[in-house]
Amino acid sequence: MKILEVTRVNPFSNSPESATELCLPLTLFDLFWFKLHPVERLFFYRLNDLTPAFFNSVILPKLKRSLSLTLLHYLPLAGNLKWPPGQPKPAILYTPNDGVPLTVAESNADFNLLSGNGIHDAFGLHPLKPELITSDDSASTLALQITLFPNMGFCIGITAHHAVLDGRTTTVFIKSWAYICNQDNSPLPPELTPFFDRSLLKGPDGVDMLYLNQWLAMSGKSLKLTTTAGEGPDPVRATFEITRDGFNKLRERVLSEVADGGTQLHLSTFVLTYAHVATCKVKARGGDGDRGVILGFTVDCRRRLNPPVPENYLGNCNTGMYEFVKARDFLGEDGFVCAVQKVSGMVKVLKERGVLEGIERKLSDTFDLIKEQPDSKIQIISVAGSPIFGVYGSDFGWGKPQKVEIVSIEEYEAFSMAESRDGSGGVEVGLALQRHEMETFSSLFLKHI
């Protein structure tokens, strides 16, 4: 890896909007993620015969200019997370001359390997992701990196502060940047124009300060982020796909094994994917059947709040669902069906009780999970991303991504979900595991689809 440039991209300075100061207070949904690990995504673009000269004279200037124009619509992302004097909680502050940190690099690593689906060392992706600039009193909301792979293509890495952006918002920002780059500064369509009004987010009074005080009790007032144990030493990554035919097989398997014909089960692609991945992960790890397993996933609350929040709302608007089970539930031949019943039940509870039920306990429960993880045998299975985000629709003018990776899944034993690149209606699953577990997982995963 060779660093070519470290700079800062400001919102387009010839517009009056760039001279506007902006302050957005953090909501309870933001403060849940206050110091947790940022979201790290990589977008690989194949461009055969890409020379450094063409990259530096055409691609890089176009990406920089379109980024500057995009930031006019997304001023908070050019700002920083700070603690305003006299205010009870942090806020996103944008002032004129703020900008997004951008690193430009060149790599001689194997583009095909890093952007492929096969098993490869996870650390190979790490040089492609930028680091957020954080200190005790300030944290950048976003960091970007553009890496040239001569004669192969380029990669855009985005690291987003999780107290500022959730997965949906990060994806919409990338799509907006791609749209302006591809359409030569055409106005953003409504679905890509960010919505900033936070007064619509209704939740129980005082939960925002409850969350903040829990964070302060754990790590003080510093704006530096926390770290976790992750997947351990030398993890490997791989990507798998469940096609429409694969989903039919999984659905038929469930229906053939449950007594009531599955009428009480929620057999969505999400439930089937999660259950299949969870079963294979638990079996790949093996061990004592009495060991604990925690099933968890985040839920987008935008449509589930009253009143609903627009899909293009900029910020976090999600909550988590968790359930504690025993490994033995998944280790037997009926493990997949058991997993489907567990996850389907979690979805049913969500629909019956709503997203705000028990939200006061969500953060303290999460802290308990993080504290237990490094020193216990508990296996945490969580998910990042979603097929509905449409990450493969991010075309900057040189074709859709060859591959999209979520690097940050390594931090929480998570797996990623995205739509299949070919638009066939399948689901792409990404994982980071120890090599011996990955090899077992691969055999189990492919066996039933």
Sign of the alpha-carbon dihedral angle for 135, 140, 142, 143: negative
Judge whether 100 and 143 are in contact, CB under 8 Å: yes
Please report, for residues 23, 76, 220, the alpha-carbon distance to residue 26 in angstroms, rounded to integers and kept in the order given. Answer: 10, 12, 17
Please report, for residues 265, 286, 294, 378, the alpha-carbon distance to residue 372 in angstroms, rounded to integers and kept in the order given. Answer: 31, 19, 11, 7
Question: What is the residue type of 10?
Answer: N
Report the candidate in 183, 142, 181 with the shortest Cα–Cα distance to residue 162.
142
Residues 86 and 91: their CA atoms lie apart, in Å, by 12
**Cis bond before residue 189 (omega within 30° of 0):** no
Judge whether 75 and 22 are in contact, CB under 8 Å: yes
**CA count, 13 A, side-chain hemisphere, 392:** 18
Pairing of β 142-149 and β 100-106 = parallel
Sign of the alpha-carbon dihedral angle for 120, 121, 124, 125: positive
Residues 100 and 128: their CA atoms lie apart, in Å, by 17
Cα dihedral value 329, 334, 340, 342, nearest 10: -30
Environment class of residue 49 by beta-carbon count within 10 Å: exposed (0-12), middle (13-18) or buried (19+)? exposed
SS3 state at 153: strand
Catalytic residues: 162, 395
Who's near 351: CB < 8 A, 6+ residues apart?
none
Locus of tokens 């999460």: 366
